Structure 1
Amino acid sequence: MSVITAKFAAAREFVAEHRAAAARRRVLEAELAAFSTPADRLEIEAIVSRYPDEETREVRDILDRQFV
């Protein structure tokens, strides 16, 4: 495999991973948007608070953006 071919393959893999992560984030955002009432918000915050920040950072960031 030539250097150019290897770099092209790595770039394609990077783009595919980026697209998959973006799609996963969109699904998560849609799922979290279903928690739309104040009671729902308290429930999801209680659930998220049971886990370490490093494991729930993405969820917390989405919730912060959605409920501002």
Structure 2
Amino acid sequence: MNINQWHLLLADDDEDDCLFFKEALSRLPIASDLTTVQDGEQLMQLLTNRADPLPDALFLDLNMPRKKC
């Protein structure tokens, strides 16, 4: 698989965790585009929106508000 830029999705309601993730990602030698959502409803809206391409990788906090089971 040859990916020029990774499209990543981070689902986490903790602002500090999001900042730590962004900082760690910026130190990696990869080209990436990061989208973040704060709850399960936002996550499902983004994933089910046919206009948006699916991310190459999803980093998911399982303990967050308004998650859909």
Shorter chain as denominator, the TM-score bin is 0.3 to 0.5
Q: Which has the higher strand share?
A: 2
Q: Which has the higher helix share?
A: 1
Q: Considering Cα pairs closer than 8 Å and 6+ residues apart, tell me whether 1 or 2 has the greater RCO.
A: 2
What's the TM-score once normalised by structure 2's chain length? 0.32
What's the TM-score once normalised by structure 1's chain length? 0.32
> Larger Cα Rg: Structure 1 or Structure 2?
1
